């Protein structure tokens, strides 16, 4: 294990230090069973970081003995959606947007049926009816928004994406749609006058003091600190460090599409700091990122209980979520009801428990991209078990 010294100990914040040790052993066991490549985690309570540790290897290559570091930079995937939601709520606070506003009032392509009833709130809660992510359902012949954009060759990426149609009417089903958060990014761009990626960096990442968080990973000083969970990342790292990397998106339509559905990179410490900002009512180190009332609204369950979830063979269960974060708290959860979180493919997780004033962020790169439930939901139970 590699640890970074923290200002506070587990006992300082009312947390059992033996459970920190157990959490490390828990991850080591998953590594030994070849379910995850490595793990690093950062834990804070009442704004005080008391654990920042890493176990396992940096690279998937057996011959590469480099250890994962607590400050290794990794892709946070869909945890990016929490940053996007905060950006939307900042614009709401500034009176530039309403969450019950129809998307068609901002983006003309959405002003025509069947898309004209979709609201910003629908996008934030995955109830827009837009086609869900490709692997949500066993549908062999699904054609995603991305396929239509590729075929359109940049003429109008929004209009092209809408050729995929709706899965259902807005507000009647929960279906996970990363593309919905891409559209939220376009809303941020149009309402703020800044490209959404840049808006998030300038209005959230920088004032929050997240020094290792960003969309641009193709810089030597950044990519040299990244983990290497598979050959695709290895190729990128080698090309950037070797000076042969070519950005194939540059000058194309892909460069114009916001990466607000899953494009950020970060560390577990930075994610824990972001979560602490939300826990503290939108403030951190005297900087105001978002107001307390906006956070309360963002973390209030939005969908009606009649709105069901059929994604990933869920079978039509109710999926509680806020206007941005996931709000599920079921029989397997030992964190407090009202806790909010987001997972990221690959995998990673950020959880904020306002009652216990607990924030946890962790990365658990999967072996061959195969999802490991123990590294997410079981890990959350282990983490929350240490609260005294």
What are the structure tokens assigned to 291, written together? 């107001």
* Spatial separation of the C-alpha atoms in residues 230 and 308, rounded to whole Å: 35
Which residues, other chains included, contact 149 with Cβ-Cβ below 8 Å and sequence gap of 6+? 157, 160, 161, 253, 257
Strands 287-288 and 283-284: antiparallel
Q: Please check whether residue 278 lies inside any domain of the structure.
A: yes
CATH code of residue 131? 3.40.710.10
Residue of 177, 183, 208 whose CA lies nearest to 196: 183
For 87, the domain range is 69-348
Q: Give the number of domains in the chain.
A: 1
Q: Please check whether residue 356 lies inside any domain of the structure.
A: no
Q: Is the pTM of this model over 0.95?
A: yes
Q: Please check whether residue 233 lies inside any domain of the structure.
A: yes
Tens place of pLDDT for every residue, the chain, 388 residues? 999 999 999 999 999 999 999 999 999 999 999 999 999 999 999 999 999 999 999 999 999 999 999 999 999 999 999 999 999 999 999 999 999 999 999 999 999 999 999 999 999 999 999 999 988 998 878 889 999 999 998 889 999 999 999 999 999 999 999 999 999 999 999 999 999 999 999 999 999 999 999 998 888 888 999 999 999 999 999 999 999 999 888 889 999 999 999 999 999 999 999 999 999 999 999 999 999 999 999 999 999 999 999 999 999 999 999 999 999 999 989 999 999 999 999 899 999 999 999 999 999 999 988 899 999 999 999 999 999 9
Q: Please check whether residue 239 lies inside any domain of the structure.
A: yes
Q: Please check whether residue 33 lies inside any domain of the structure.
A: no
Q: Please check whether residue 210 lies inside any domain of the structure.
A: yes
Q: Please check whether residue 375 lies inside any domain of the structure.
A: no
- Kindly state the helix (H) or strand (E) to which residue 359 belongs, with its residue range: strand 358-363
Provide DSSP, 25-71.
HHHHHHHHTTSBSEEEEEEEETTEEEEEEEEEBSBS-TT--PBP-TT
């Amino acid at each position: 294990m590699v640890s970074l010294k923290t200002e506070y100990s587990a006992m300082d914040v009312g947390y059992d230090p033996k459970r920190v040790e157990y959490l490390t052993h828990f991850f080591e066991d998953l590594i030994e069973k070849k379910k995850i490549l490595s793990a690093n985690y950062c834990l804070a309570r009442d704004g005080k970081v008391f654990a920042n540790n890493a176990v396992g290897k940096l690279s998937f290559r057996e011959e590469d003995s480099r250890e994962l570091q607590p400050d290794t930079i990794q892709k946070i995937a869909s945890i990016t959606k929490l940053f996007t939601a905060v950006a939307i709520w900042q614009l709401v606070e500034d009176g530039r947007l309403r969450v019950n506003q129809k998307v068609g009032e901002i983006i003309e392509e959405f002003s025509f049926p069947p898309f004209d009833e979709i609201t910003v709130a629908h996008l934030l809660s995955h109830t827009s009816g837009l086609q869900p992510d490709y692997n949500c359902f066993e549908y062999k012949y699904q054609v995603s928004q991305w396929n239509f954009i590729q075929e359109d060759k940049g003429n109008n990426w929004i209009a092209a994406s809408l050729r995929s149609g709706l899965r259902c009417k807005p507000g009647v089903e929960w279906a996970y749609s990363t593309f919905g958060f891409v559209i939220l990014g376009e809303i941020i761009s149009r309402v703020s006058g800044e490209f959404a990626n840049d808006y998030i960096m300038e209005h959230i990442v920088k004032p929050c003091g997240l020094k290792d968080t960003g969309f641009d990973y193709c810089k030597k000083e950044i990519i040299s600190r990244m983990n290497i969970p598979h050959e695709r990342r290895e190729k990128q790292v080698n090309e950037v460090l070797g000076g042969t990397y070519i950005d194939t998106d540059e000058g194309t339509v892909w460069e114009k599409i916001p990466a607000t559905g899953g494009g950020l990179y970060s560390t577990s410490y930075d994610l824990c700091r972001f979560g602490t900002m939300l826990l503290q009512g939108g403030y951190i180190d005297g900087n105001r990122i978002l107001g307390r009332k906006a956070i309360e609204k963002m973390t209030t369950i939005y969908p009606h209980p009649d709105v069901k979830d059929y994604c990933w063979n869920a079978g039509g269960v109710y999926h509680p979520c806020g206007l941005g974060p996931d709000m599920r708290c079921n029989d397997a959860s030992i964190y407090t009801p009202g806790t909010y979180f987001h997972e990221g493919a690959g995998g990673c997780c950020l959880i904020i428990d306002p009652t216990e004033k607990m924030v946890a962020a962790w990365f658990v790169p999967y072996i061959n991209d195969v999802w490991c439930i123990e590294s997410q939901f079981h890990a959350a139970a282990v983490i929350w078990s240490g609260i005294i």
